[in-house]
Structure 1
Amino acid sequence: MLVEFRVRNFRSIRDDLCLSMTASKDKEKRDANTVETGITSLPTLVRSAVIYGPNASGKSALIMAMQFAQIAVRTSASLMPGQPLNQAPFKLDAKTSAQPSEFEFTFLLQGIRYQYGFALLPDGIHEEWLLVYKASKPQVWFERKFDKKTEADVYHFGSSFVGTRKVWQQATRRNALFLSTAIQLNSESLRPVYDWIVERLVVFGAGSQPPFEQSTSWASSAVEKPALLAFLGAADVGIFDVSVHKRKQHMLRFEVSDGEPRHAVSEAEVNFPVFLHKGPGGEAAFQMEEESAGTQRLFAFAAPLIEALNAARVIVVDELDSSLHSYIVRFLVELFHRPAGSSTAAQLIFTTHDTSLLDANIFRRDQVWFMEKNREHASVLVPLTDFSPRKHEALERGYLQGRYGALPLTSDFVPGEKPLGT
């Protein structure tokens, strides 16, 4: 389970920004919306978090930061030597534009808390660290810092970190993460950290959704199809059955031969879902393109969401409500708000503009966050709890009245009038 994610100096985020999933001592919806960890120093985590804010406030930047850090962990060891890193610092400050971008995940796995992070510039990794809490006091497994004077990385390894550490260190290039390199060289001790970031964390940025292939594959599986149909039935989209048909699809491939660009067309069979609908006058099969954008999106998310719930993954979605009715989004959130007998659970983190979800019947006060920009145009993330709302306060009305900030400040527009400053 995610405990917190920190980021600094990335896109519209200048200063240290932290999204925390740590629950407050509030007993409201404790059984449904939180999970007990069994750890004294970190007793309870929330199962979901929702982030509100105007357009261009930085909500997407936060989600992109998670995705950027995840991709760096997955791919950095495969970069070519000397290949610059694709840093995206805060550009509206001359100081920060030349400083490293920082990312840090803190998460729980099998009762152990891990705190892993790194800082980078285009010329390489400038810091990397891993702390492991098997007790209240952290064990420093490794620390790495770039020394500008010697132009070399300086490593410190803790006694609790086992394996061929020097071999992994020597194999780690300036533009690669030590974690990624050690995994390529079969580090078993670091495998849980890598797998959590790469496999258990699932991030969908703005305008994206899962490919249809997984849900389509489930539709042809006798084991997984019942869960898929139950999910679609519960969401009330009118689908009674899903079958899988093969279609021939032409693939256009470009390549360079003898210095000349060429293209080739190939044909392949691709699986496509077909949806059965029933009405008073009969039944009919619908192709994917005949379904609404919302139904297509819901079908794409079906298998990944069910799998996340079963495997205790963390799902992060920018603009979850895109093409989905408020009640469907509420239905998806409530799938994560269910008591579980273990100390781990799936989590859902998402951004939205749907203020109808700002409802004390859905979320605890420690699950709601607001993103806005300060006077320096840097993104700031503020929890609802900072405003000390009353227990039964009308959260949606309070937000729309400006009580919590994070609203767009529009002004009068006169067609034909010149912009200010011209």
Structure 2
Amino acid sequence: MVAANIVAKEKELDDNNVFAVDDDLKLLKSAAIYGANASGKSNLAKALSFMKWFMINSSKETQSTEKIGVEPFELSTETEAKPSFFEIVFLLDGTKYRYGFEANQKRVISEWLSYVPKTRQTRLFERVSDGNSRNIKYLSNTFNGKDIYPKTRNNALFLSVAAQFNVEIAERILDWLTKKVNIVSGLDDQDHLSYTVSSLATNNDNKSKIIQLIKKLDLGIKQIRIKEAEIIAIEQSSYHFKTPYSIKTGHERFDKQDNYVSMKFFDLDSHESEGTKKIIFIAGLLVDTLKYGKVLIFDEFDARLHPLISKAIVELFNSKNTNYNNAQLIFMTDDTNLLSNKLFRRDQIWFTEKNKYGATDLYSLVEYKIQKDASFESYYIKGRYGAIPFIGDLSQLLGEPNV
């Protein structure tokens, strides 16, 4: 998320939403991606999620006969037989790396890694395949993986194999990817509950920050209790298992004179709303991302969240005070309430739109020349930036009414 050379209408956005890596490179703390349904927003998150999984696991969780989980673009005869292309550029310990690969369902066609140790980009390795044979076109002594490449299967990544054999650069890259980059969906919030629970179950600094976040979001929750459920016996077999931790939310009780009486605890799963549950599910993830300067890619970000709560979460990232370690949030959303020039610079807003051939274009609002006081939301709804659905005439959908 490289910042463009622009100035926001609100000067504080330039101060808070952007951070400098060096004299030449500035990055953004957040980016919102908008687009019509079926425009490709979620596919972007899915592609990134696959790339992360394949980089980490292809050497150890796939067999030589297994297909690679890529899907060619089949709406074009030009591309349906071509490999899928993946590439990321990232900073690791202050050094810029560029890594990518091309693959079809049968094999990795090419793979490359370079970095910028000082001022010039330098290749660490380049792998190519002509379909019948495979070879390393270039391998730097810095990467130190000369004896490892022959162990790399056609359907595995050399980077993944190198990490398995303790090549330091590969290990550090995959460790960063595993620990510092999270790709999640707002439709599967319960998957993120384990981190929140583990933080709340231990008396550490994250616990207090999670509870503080939940209190500040006006859910009426004053306390949270975590209790491990009892062991349950399964009558049909001799196995036993433990259910997950139960979460109790504490709400204040008052008498008829509105005086506080006591704290009443409710079961999160059966008594709280879906929106409240989502906030508690992701609270640990948000605190962890901000505290340790991680990257969070969030599909369906606004699902089951009030617009003001979505805005408050974005503001946590767009702030020097709460995001002092320069964590980054990239999210896919349909919540146009967030489309504000008081919240985002133009380079923080992106759109996905399918062209007439069914392919997705990803582009930024910074590509449009607009007045500084223009309403991002109003112009978007009016179709000034594209990336909206064009809905046909529905007035006669069910035919004439029966008289």
Superposed pair shares fold, TM > 0.5: yes
SS of the residue 2:22 aligns to: coil
Q: Structure 2: how far apart are the matches of 1:50 and 1:375?
A: 24
In percent, how many aligned pairs have the same letter?
31
What are the residue-to-residue correspondences of 1:19-418 with 2, within 5 Å? 21-28=1-8, 29-40=13-24, 43-78=25-60, 79-148=62-131, 151-159=132-140, 161-163=142-144, 165-205=145-185, 207-209=187-189, 210-223=191-204, 224-248=206-230, 266-281=240-255, 282=261, 283-289=263-269, 290-339=271-320, 345-413=326-394, 414-416=396-398
Q: CA deviation at 1:96?
A: 1.2
SS of 2:154 mapped into structure 1: coil
Paired residue secondary structure (2:146)? helix
Deviations 1:144-172 (A, max 9, x none): 01123xx1212133435232x12210111
CA gap 1:119/1:49 in 2 versus in 1, 3 angstroms: same
Q: Which amino acid aligns with 1:38?
A: D
Q: Specify the SS of the correspondent of 1:91.
A: coil
Give the direction of change, closer, same or farther, for the CA distance of 1:270–1:222 in structure 2 (3 Å limit): same
Question: 1:322-347 CA distances to partner (integer Å, 9 max, x unpaired)?
Answer: 00001101111111112279996100
1:62-104 per-residue CA deviation (whole Å, 9 max, x = no partner) reads 0111001011112111211221112211111122111111111
CA contact (8 A) 2:32 2:349 kept: yes
Per the alignment, do residues 211 and 264 of structure 1 end up closer, same or farther by CA in structure 2, a change over 3 Å counting? farther
Equivalent-residue separation in structure 2 for 1:39 and 1:153 (angstroms) = 41
Please identify runs of 4+ aligned residues in structure 1 that moved more than 6 A: 340-343
Question: 3-state SS of the aligned residue for 1:382?
Answer: strand
Q: Structure 1 CA distance, aligned partners of 2:323 and 2:283?
A: 24
Q: Distance in 1 between matches of 2:136 and 2:59?
A: 17
Per-residue CA deviations over 1:278-313 (Å, capped at 9, x if unaligned) read: 143443111121111111111111111111111111
SS of 1:231 mapped into structure 2: helix
Instruction: Compute the displacement of 1:185 (Å).
Output: 0.8
1:217 and 1:141 map into 2 onto residues whose CA distance is 39
CA contact (8 A) 1:114 1:193 kept: no
Aligned letter for 1:139?
T
- What letter matches 2:241 in structure 1? E
CA deviation profile, 1:356-390 (whole Å, cap 9, x unmatched): 10001100111001111101011111110111122
Paired letter, 2:78: K
| Separation (CA, whole Å) in 2 of partners of 1:44 and 1:302 | 28
Cα distance in 2 for residues equivalent to 1:132 and 1:379: 29
| Per-residue Cα deviation, 1:221-241 (whole angstroms, up to 9, x for no partner) | 221321111111121111111
TM-score by length of 1: 0.86
Residues 1:175 and 1:25: Cα distance change in structure 2 (over 3 Å): same
Aligned partners of 2:185 and 2:301 also within 8 Å: no
Counterpart AA for 1:122? Q
TM-score (norm 2): 0.90
Whole-Å separation in 2 of the counterparts to 1:39 and 1:155:
35
Q: Deviations over 1:181-213 (max 9, x none)?
A: 011111112222212222211001362224312
Q: How many residues of Structure 1 are paired with residues of Structure 2 in the alignment? A: 384
Measure, in 1, the Cα distance between the counterparts of 2:234 and 2:16: 50
Q: Matched residue of 2:148: which SS? A: helix
TM-fit CA distance, 1:121: 0.7
Which one has a larger percent strand, Structure 1 or Structure 2?
1
